[in-house]
């Protein structure tokens, strides 16, 4: 009997509060997007200049709706779905944002030797984690090999000037689930900056981008979820003018005949990852890159992933399954962000 875990979020990242008296007003708004929730927190030193919440929420919703319209494989009319279902091998004009995200995702993929592969769509769908909503069952070796023939970073091209993308095989299908959410976070952050807000936090499904300080005039405190106890905190980090993303499989998987199949597919093998890495958190200058690197390292596993993070000088925190439950590893670059509790 196949069972799909009902919780689909990779991790939960919580904004940590404290008992200090607020020095500045904290304005909050929230909503739904990309199959999860979002929240925005804006700090104002002058209550008379607080934003119009309803108007601001409307504009944030519009931004996220547009990102979905461009990049969601779950929307049949989206730009990426139209590209995926097209058999044309010609250049296809797209929005600059879609071309930009594909270009950045491809760059991370090449840097990670293909651990992150945006053309993995056929394999994601084959294993039942894509928009096709197929009954979950174990694909045959033939089905896996056939799907792999339509994947590979060398099979997609992108240009930013006169933005367009093209495929070199008709069955190629892109999946931006590793970076689109992070881009959405960055897009909202850019919007808030355009309104001259200097202190805020933007979060979508646990992925965050912060600027400045919180309402206590301190660094923003973000919690990394404990995979063993939903709702509890494993580690607290302090962020200013940085982004953070987490990838993992401890809530999104299915089981068949007692075997656990992760939602994370290894592009090299065409199969779900089988190593002991439960989650990886990456801190970077943008949420898009943090999101992409987190997925790439998640695919690599704890040993190769940590080596890659050190090579790239990335602040990375790993939670690894072991016989006693979970253990943790991190790069020295991550230690600067740890908050002593």
Q: Using one digit for the tens of pLDDT, what is the confidence trace for 49-83?
A: 567 889 999 999 999 999 999 999 999 999 999 99
- Helix, strand, coil abundance in the chain, percent, nearest 5: 30, 30, 40
pLDDT for 249: 65
pLDDT for 3: 31
Which residue ranges in the chain fall short of pLDDT 50?
A: 1-14, 17-19, 340-341
Parallel, antiparallel, or unpaired for β 207-211 and 200-204? antiparallel
b/e sequence 30-57, b meaning 16+ C-beta within 10 Å: eeebbeeebebbbbbeeeeeebeeeebe
pLDDT for 7: 30
pLDDT for 128: 81
pLDDT for 2: 32
Cα of 257 vs its chain's centroid, Å:
30
* Strand, helix or coil for residue 119: coil
Other CB atoms within a 10 A radius of the CB of residue 234 amount to: 18
pLDDT for 47: 61
Give whole-number Cα distances, 78 to 81, 83, 94, in Å.
5, 9, 11
H or E element, residue 262:
strand 259-262
**Strands of 233-239's sheet, edge to edge?**
13-15, 220-225, 233-239
Q: What is the distance in angstroms between the CA of the first residue and the CA of the last residue of the chain?
A: 43
pLDDT for 23: 60
pLDDT tens for each residue of 77-122:
999 999 999 999 999 999 999 999 999 999 999 999 999 999 999 9
pLDDT for 312: 97
Query: Model-level pTM?
Result: 0.89
């Amino acid at each position: 009997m196949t069972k799909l875990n009902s919780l689909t979020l990779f991790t939960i990242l919580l904004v940590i509060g404290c008992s200090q008296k607020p020095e500045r007003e904290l304005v909050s708004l929230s909503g739904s997007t990309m199959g999860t929730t979002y929240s925005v927190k804006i700090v104002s030193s002058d209550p008379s200049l607080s934003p119009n919440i309803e108007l601001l929420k409307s504009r944030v919703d519009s931004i996220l709706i547009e990102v979905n319209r461009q990049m969601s494989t779950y929307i049949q009319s989206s730009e990426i779905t139209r590209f995926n279902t097209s058999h044309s091998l010609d250049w296809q004009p797209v929005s600059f944002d879609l071309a930009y995200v594909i270009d950045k995702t491809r760059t991370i993929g090449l840097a990670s030797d293909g651990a992150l592969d945006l053309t993995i769509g056929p394999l994601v769908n084959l294993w039942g984690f894509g928009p096709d909503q197929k009954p979950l069952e174990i694909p045959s070796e033939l089905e896996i090999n056939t799907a792999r023939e339509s994947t590979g970073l060398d099979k997609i091209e992108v240009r930013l000037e006169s933005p367009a993308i093209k495929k070199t095989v008709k069955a190629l299908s892109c999946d931006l689930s590793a970076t689109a959410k992070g881009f959405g976070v960055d897009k909202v952050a850019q919007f808030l900056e355009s309104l001259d807000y200097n202190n805020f936090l933007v979060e979508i499904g646990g992925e965050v981008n912060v600027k400045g300080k919180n309402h206590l005039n301190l660094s923003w405190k973000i919690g990394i979820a404990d995979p063993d106890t939903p709702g509890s905190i494993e580690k607290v980090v302090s962020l200013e003018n940085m982004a953070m993303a987490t990838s993992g499989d401890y809530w999104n998987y299915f089981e068949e005949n007692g075997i656990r199949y992760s939602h994370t597919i290894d592009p090299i093998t065409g199969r779900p990852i089988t190593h002991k890495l439960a989650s990886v958190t990456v801190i970077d200058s943008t949420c898009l890159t943090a999101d992409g690197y987190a997925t790439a390292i998640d695919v690599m596993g704890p040993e190769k992933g940590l080596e890659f993070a050190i090579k790239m000088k990335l602040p990375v925190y790993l939670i690894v399954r072991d016989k006693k439950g979970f253990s943790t590893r991190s790069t020295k670059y991550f230690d600067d962000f740890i908050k002593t509790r």
